[in-house]
Structure 1
Amino acid sequence: MKAKSKFGVYFALTVLQLCASSPLFADQSRLVLSGLSQGKLTCASFELSADAEIDIQAKGALGQYSEELTGYCWILDSKTRGEIWHFTSHQRSKDAGKKDNIQEYEGAIPLKKGIYEVYYYVPEYNFFNINIDGTNEVFDFLRDLFSRKSKTNWKESISELMIEIRSNANVFKIVSQGSAFKPSPPEPPLFQKVKLGDGYYKKSYFRLKEPTNLRIYMIGEYSQSGKRLIDGAWVVDAETGAHVWEPTRWNTELAGGARKNRMFYDDVHLPAGDYIINCITDDSHSFEGWNANPPSDPYFWGISIFPGQGYKSGQFIPLDAPIISHALLKIIRVGEDAAEEQSFKLSREARLRIYCFGEFDESGEEFADFGWIEDNATGEIVWQLDAENAQFGGGSSKNRVFDGVITLPKGSYTVHYISDDSHSYNDWTTSPPFDPENYGISIYGVGKDFDPAICELTPKSDFGDNTLVEMTRLGDDQRVFKNFTIQAPSKIHIYSIGEGDRDEMYDYGWIERKKDNQVVWEMTYRNTKPAGGASKNRLFDGEILLDKGEYTARFSTDGSHSYNNWNAPKPKNPTNWGILITKP
């Protein structure tokens, strides 16, 4: 034999040997997944050109103290994304005969013509399920916990795990495997954000030219303790901020694997308009790395949008740039110990969208960082971020957000935002909210016909034309007063926040008639109501009748619990600590 021919034979034999030893070796009728790694998915796909039966041989592993498989495999229908076969401990067909925790399966299932995907998942050693029953098992577990025996057994078990699929060579074909593996979606998606990793947040935008049905396929993570999805996506109306679709515990179903994996797969009808898709994940359990068993369709962790029933081509238009809104004012990227405000006037009634993030103190059941809007003419709060209107803001459970529309009449208003000494923009004590750049409060005009000219930003000192007295944001040990005149007998409106109990008032206001120093009104415990926060915070919000004449308004504070120096939970409207008197 010539030297070149010998080299060719040796080369061919070498290639065959390398292929035969490959972890993902498959011939025309045989697909094998083996040589598996901890904490990783091993995947492949195959196609049947006609209806056929497939033979399955698989080995799975039980956790040492569990009856559930921790190393296991399954098969998915690419068209429906539904699981058609799943290896469980109950499917064991015979004893492996080598190790107690190795389970074997041999069987056959009929399949329709189509493309199928095969998955094998082996968790990290410290992730496998532990379920101890009985005193002896407790001692066995404790013994193994401080030895290397359990971990060594687990590694040895992994080397035996595998799945082999065989079928008629005339109809069976490998589609993709190993690093080249790609799942086959049922049809090209209109929009897709999948294989999401930890700590992900992104806004995407689209427009619907006509009312239509969209098929939404979302897989994410549900927090049983928080009663909400912490990995997922939702769709909001770009104009109003209204949630037009969002996954919940009740409209989703189990997605396979760990019980916290949830999925939504259904048509959603949306009217014509502009929309925002929010995608979010927390800091664990994602395609980047699972801390529990992954879902049956792990490559679709995230959201995919497909044409729904009756969809006409061209109705869905992706938008690259953010949708332009009528931004009126923003107090954002708020840091620690902030007390920011901005006043504005509306020349006529307006619908406004409020987008406000804050921090909820779960132990004290009140907000530590929050925003609100008050009427400058009366001092009354017309909107405030609170426990009833806020939703989960992503990241830490204490992050909250309000994204909705309110209607305000013509008038003068002030937007406030305050924060405490921790967990604020760029200095988070725990995971930040899903949109940290907008931490604070933003206000937008609503409607395509909204005229921004009806909203005028005004100086912070503008409390409206009807203001007679404004002595607020008072600190400790203050004794302040201000004179005012009533031209004719008339009513005045008093908005005053102070401190007191049933025995006496500590921070309070009163009004004296100037000519004889007679007290004509005084803030007492009995004529006030709770102001929010600590029970000692008291509010007077009402009208009194004064005769023509000159008057003096006074306010006194003691040596503790005052604006920006609280020794107990602050009131709902802390910046109005003091007294505000206006003409109704």
Structure 2
Amino acid sequence: MRRFASRFLLVGLLITLAVFVIRAIDGAGNALASITSIEAEGQPERESFRVFDPVHVTIEAAGSFEGGEADTALAAHGWLVHRESGEVVWRMRPAERPARGTYVLMRDTLALAPGTYDAYYAALGAPLARTPRQGTSLRDRLSDALSGGGKGWIGDEARWKFVVALAPGVEEGATAGAMPPEDPEDLVWSTGSVGSNERADVVLRVTEAVQIELDALFEGAGARPVDSAFVTTLEGDTVWVARPATSEHAGGSLRNRRQTDTLALAPGQYRVVYHSDGDHAVGSWNANPPWEPWRWGLRIAPADSASRAGAIAPVDPLRDYPRVAEILCVDQPSATHEVRFDVVEALDLTVVAVGEIIGDSAYDYATITRGDETVWDMEEARLRPAGGDRKNRRAEERLSFIPGTYTLRYETDGSHHCGDYNGDAPDDPAFWGVVLLSSDGLPAGDRVRILGQSAEVEGQEAPATPQVPATVPENALVDLTGVENSEDRRETFRLTERTAVCVHSLGEISDSNRYDWGRITRPSGEVVYAMTFENSSRAGGNSLNRRSTAFLELDPGSYIAQYTTDGSHAFGSWSNGAPPTPALWGLIVYPAPEGAGEEGDPAAACAELPSSTEPEVVLPSTPPGVPDSTDLTVLSTVASNP
């Protein structure tokens, strides 16, 4: 009888063990999120999953209370967030703490609607909710030392877990794995996930009255915000600010605050700023994070039809701010480019740079120095993707400059640069370098003076500076120089015999557009010469300053020389770096040196100072009422300033 009972008991144990193993295997196979390797005081863990049809899930979560017997805050815990709504659909909330120790285990079932879910686990403690130690006895001090300063819950580390699985009998309707959370595309602006010691700011332009929604997650202690989030006018008047008193608890540590407001803005420009302190942020939490850690920062969403229609938008510095200095499309390997400039009057400048940075290593990058002091270093700036390869990084920051001499510098290594990328190019392949912009939207004018630009390429001698006329030749047939913004100047000249001439044009041209440029045409409209990107070269000052020198043999007849400028960056008002010979901004036509077309490169001869040889010029008869001027070589001059 005893033998039978023993055998019966053994069979029962084997069956129970088999059922346990089968359930364990089945549960693991149906797990949607399984966080089990958790480090005490380590950074939070996240696993995500997708639900396609309404399903039931089981939850098994183990965590710990803070160490004091009176503490009711969880030091280690898990929670589940419905990503689309931001709602916390489940979190560890034990009815009471255990009679002894800190460890707690919870099992639950939950119905989930379709959507994406993020399972989080954090074990960083809740120091603001921790009961301070009062005792000073040897026993108290020994207990404090053994518990890590009242953090006895750390000893529970090996048992922590957070597992979400499909309920028994449910085989489909959800899958493990999902992309990390990210901002929706319809936001007006977002800081992204903010780390420690980071600043994000933007200028928003409002063209008609709008309403927006601001959502800020920040650190606050008592009545004082530790992280700053605010909106001001460009004149400095405060429009909105995040404060602990006007915010609510955002989950986790009591210092996690969230403020959501609807704000009405009148037409104008506004500055938005978010600045974090040196700890407790994404990647460096020192207490349990909020329910949605990735949202730490500031987000601005449209809240009415006007804001949704684009009546509020970030100012694009590259499009909307005048340029002060630039080093762009750096295409030489192992090169160092520099622009030296004087700040005459204190002002704010925005720096935008794109380069190659991988982790903590910078390969193509920009810096700004003032003497031996580094004012700004791209490697230490807040970086964002520049498009293309992951190593293409972009920095954008507004800086305050006091009077002094500065150097804008861009350095490249031996590979992956403008025109020769060894990975995917950035979104704008030609923007590989750095540019300085006037942050107030006004040309820097006399507030900044460009001193010079230089480039050093490893293993190469500095290129010789092309010779160009330093002044307008005395025997010039056409002098359209010193052309200012928004002008359209013309001069007509006539030749009585086939004549060789030199044309020198200095203007602003990119590979896709002509902003300031010259040309020569016949009265019939036939183009004899036109300045283009292809027939010009860099003139110094900045990459858009271009110089074109041409040798032409013109038949007898009349010709029209014309030079046109757009509304920025011209003689007397350089929004970018001025060329070395700013007074020659425009077009010059002068006689070619004798014999220039017979041997060698005629254009090279045109780069030299001209001789005094002049072609024969036939003047029209003097109209009635106009004084006779038989020494004129120009028939007419027309200047238009729209």
TM-score of the superposed pair, with normalisation by structure 2 = 0.42
Identify, as 1 or 2, the structure richer in strand: 1
Which of the pair has more CA radius of gyration? 2
TM-score of the superposed pair, with normalisation by structure 1 = 0.46
